[in-house]
Amino acid sequence: MENGSGPEGQERSRKWSQAPGNIEDLDEYTALQKYISTYRDPRAADSAENQAKDGADAHKDKAWWQFWRSGTSAQATDKDAGVVPEEWLDADIKQGLTNAQVEERRRRFGWNEITTEKENLFIKFLMFFTGPILYVMEVAVVLAAGLRDWIDLGVIIGILLLNAAVGWYQEKQAADVVASLKGDIAMKAIAIRQGQEQDIKARELVPGDIVIIEEGQTVPADARLICDYDTPEDFEKYKELREQHALDPEEDPAGSEEKEGEEGEGVAHQGHSIIATDQSAITGESLAVDKFMGDVVYYTTGCKRGKAYAVCLTSAKFSFVGRTATLVQGAKDQGHFKAIMNSIGTALLVLVMFWILAAWIGGFFRHLKIATPSESDNNLLHWTLILFIIGVPVGLPVVTTTTLAVGAAYLAKQKAIVQKLTAIESLAGVDVLCSDKTGTLTANQLSIREPYVSEGEDVNWMMACAALASSHNIKSLDPIDKVTILTLKRYPKARDILKDDWKTEKFTPFDPVSKRITTICTLRGDRFTCAKGAPKAILNLSSCTKEQADLFRDKATEFARRGFRSLGVAYQKNNEPWVLLGMLSMFDPPREDTAQTIVEAQQLGVPVKMLTGDAIAIAKETCKMLALGTKVYNSQKLIHGGLSGSTQHDLVERADGFAEVFPEHKYQVVEMLQQRGHLTAMTGDGVNDAPSLKKADCGIAVEGASEAAQAAADIVFLAPGLSTIVFAIKTARQIFQRMKSYIQYRIALCLHLEIYLVFSMIVIQETIRADLIVFIALFADLATVAIAYDNAHSEQRPVEWQLPKIWVISVVLGIELAIATWIVRGTLFLPSGGIVQNFGNIQEILFLEVALTENWLIFVTRGANTLPSWQLVGAIFVVDVLATLFCIFGWLSGGITTEPLPSPMGAFYHRQTPHGWTDVVTVVVVWAYSIGVIIFVAITYFLLNQIPGLADLGRKNRSLHDTQMENIIGHLSKLAIKHENDEHGESRWVIVGKSSEEAEDD
């Protein structure tokens, strides 16, 4: 038996070598042999044909010119939403649906996918005119119309339209890039269509489709189990039960377990369990749930065992997960970033109201009229209009949105899909990264080193038993099972053993309780039970001598110290005692770039905490290889180690990682770090990682992640390894730097003109013409939209909105610019004309000086760490040229000022040209003066950033220690509410301490 030799073995070998080409047509063990021989590492991208098909599907049922259409199906309707006709669920498991039936059902139910509510593009464009800041500008439009100031009216409307158009286009462009990449992570399904098994996208399923659900797959829709794949004859029994209404109705999965325990409730399970699914993302239970004939399996849950036919009950939109998603679809939580933008916008609106009030009070003392004279800007409504235009940062929402959208498109090109724009801002501030080990820190390329074989046992028989105790579903193999089976290439005699007449009776996959995989199989009348799993679990099965057990434990410890994952192997023949065969040593090498990227992450102020399900010895050895700290603790110390409150939080904060973790441990680690004030990023790839990904400030689904993990994450990576995460952090910080520099610039601009104009209104009863003011605002917006494309540096520490620091610096810069403008205005009072060399116009000279200094201010606030991009330089150069032409040719200057000018203005008054022109020499002097102002402002900005007290002003404490509150919460977690009846039979609730068993369950 062990060698598979003899005539029978040779005959089986001959049959196997002549097996047909289609591996799905072979029996279990023949297919396994063929898989071992023909396996090639498929590390290549999908074919161009699939990509082209994905692109075609994206535009299916929508003509190129129907840009306003948000749906993908022309005839989709909400008629009888979610209710599937009973006769639709009658398809035969061998024939399935026809193409005509599929099209008919899709017209009614649409595509089988959960999508965020797609906005009409025109409505989305209109949304760029909403918000407190924009409402004030719209009031300015009404005011300009009321004053019949048509130039101002046109330019203000132009500014609003420009901002909306740029923001709409950039956001749409980023969304298109992300959407094009999302095809790479589309869920797949196997459906029976027109009598054939077809691999299709899960989004193409319709109610009534017969699907095949198997181990390793994600359930592609809410579906009712029909029968085991290997026993299609049970379909008749299913139909009988269905006619008798003896099947469980679809219900809340979270309540299904409770219902089963109630007497007289529900329907008895039919036969044995067909498959098991992981519902942890829905119910939180970590163990797989057994599913029987007629049970409902839920969309996005993972199949952990078995293979079965099922019928789709409804489309994703009306599934259990889909209905839950619609509850929060309307809540567009933009979180921290939206709060920051709102606070800045609100503060600027309050400031402009203050300055308007000051101007009106001064105007009343000057006996100014509210709206007359109508041809002059010296009336209170014109002053209000001017202050509205300069004081309201109309471009603030659009520039920040554009910067985020451009950044998201750039990240998408680097194979990082940003599913929520504001996640970029969160990622820039992250100061702790909790990372998986397998597949992220390591290459997820397990290899089996030289195994340990118990004395007197055959290594070939041990390897054959290890392969028997593995999943044989070659289409979706667990990495451990895969490497176990493929290692048989090195053991031809073990392969010969598997060529014998083996029959699998029962396969029990790995679960966290037993910590082993078990297969019951038969060979010519003998019953073999083969097991592989954690060394301790396998050792407990066997009845070996103490010497053998000690040697086995010592070997397991040695393997762990060397960074190997150990798997014990044992078997039982018939009812004889279990025989301990030995141990496999598996090694998952770190990625080549991991150690370097961890060092880079630490240099960026983002320490990496490793969370792994491996044993603590393996975790520590991996940490040593990666130059991570070795303060790695067993998850039992975290949960059941007697720690609570502040001590427990301290442990999490100082730990370099945790071993033997379950999903609830990951969630708890993230939660405790957040309670300490840390912004935490979490990487994950499995369905059970979804809760912790959702909880983290920035959830990251790594390459190869399940659909549930991708749905819960803020960012999805399509490229492998940790280097992508470090790259994304650097990019996010660059994007943050662009937004921060723009906000400092915009606040300083508002204060500059508010301070100058209000004082000039009150003191000398003069202002810059409203026509010119709107062009100053237009030029500022035109120039700074290009900030989204600017070169920015990445800070070496986590960034955050230090609003007090931003306001202090912006106020100082705004005051300096206002003083510089007052100096220009002051020189014009000199008999010589001051800054004017030959002839000029007061309005145009002030306009040019303000426009130049304001446009160049962005070069100051962006910092000198990088050179500005050509887009930013080009945009500012264009508007500077326009401002210069305005000044030279006197556009919109209003000609000579007709109102009396204060003394000693007389000499210069007569040097003004009637058409408002300014000589070129004067323009050159204004340029030179403006350059001097910007140099002075830049020196001030540099010095302000060197002040120690200002550097950390507004920076949050990233390690909060509220010891008292943490201890209170820790003590409360040890209490429970107990329901009991007193001696009089009356019901009452009392607070009691949890028993040790309850504490462990928690």
CA atoms within 13 A on the CB side of 166: 26
Q: How far apart, in whole angstroms, are the C-alpha atoms of residue 405 and residue 798? A: 21
State which amino acid sits at residue 556.
A
Specify the long-range contacts of residues 118-126, CB closer than 8 Å, at least 24 apart.
118/70, 118/71, 119/70, 120/68, 120/70, 121/67, 121/68, 121/70, 121/168, 121/172, 122/68, 124/168, 124/171, 125/164, 125/165, 125/168
Contact residues for 204 (Cβ-Cβ < 8 A; gap 6+): 102, 111, 112, 189, 191
Q: What is the end-to-end Cα distance of the chain in Å, rounded?
A: 49
Q: Return the percent helix, strand and coil in the chain, to nearest 5.
A: 50, 15, 35
In the numeric block, which tokens belong to residue 811?
Answer: 């106020």
Determine how many CB atoms are found less than 10 A away from the CB of residue 130: 11
State which amino acid sits at residue 756.
Y
In angstroms, what CA-CA distances link 685 with 236, 438, 709, 805?
A: 39, 10, 6, 39
Q: How far apart, in whole angstroms, are the C-alpha atoms of residue 504 and residue 2? A: 17
Q: How far apart, in whole angstroms, are the C-alpha atoms of residue 596 and residue 948? A: 32
**Three-class DSSP category at 905:** coil
Determine how many CB atoms are found less than 10 A away from the CB of residue 929: 19
516 phi and psi angles, rounded to 5 deg: -155, 165
Q: How many residues does the chain have?
A: 1002
Q: How far apart, in whole angstroms, are the C-alpha atoms of residue 967 and residue 911? A: 79
Rounded to the nearest 10 degrees, what angle do helices 842-861 and 723-763 cross at?
A: 150
Q: How far apart, in whole angstroms, are the C-alpha atoms of residue 286 and residue 692? A: 13
CA atoms within 13 A on the CB side of 606: 29
Active site residues: 436
Contact residues for 463 (Cβ-Cβ < 8 A; gap 6+): 451, 487, 488, 491, 494
Distance, C-alpha 619 to centroid of its chain:
27
**Three-class DSSP category at 486:** helix
Distance, C-alpha 362 to centroid of its chain:
52
Phi-psi region of 110 (alpha: psi -120 to 50; beta: other; left: phi over 0): left
In the numeric block, which tokens belong to residue 801?
Answer: 């909105």
DSSP letters for 916-984? ----HHHHHHHHHHHHHHHHHHHHHHHHHHH-HHHHTTT---SS---HHHHHHHHHHTTEEEEEEE-TT
In the numeric block, which tokens belong to residue 70?
Answer: 């948000």
What 8-state DSSP symbol labels residue 69? -
Phi-psi region of 46 (alpha: psi -120 to 50; beta: other; left: phi over 0): beta
968 phi and psi angles, rounded to 5 deg: -60, -45
User: Nearest-CA neighbor of 583 among 463, 456, 490?
Assistant: 463
* Letter string b/e over residues 411-450, b meaning 16 or more CB atoms within 10 A of that residue's CB: bbeebbbbbbbbbbbbbbbbbbbbbbbbbbbbbbebebee
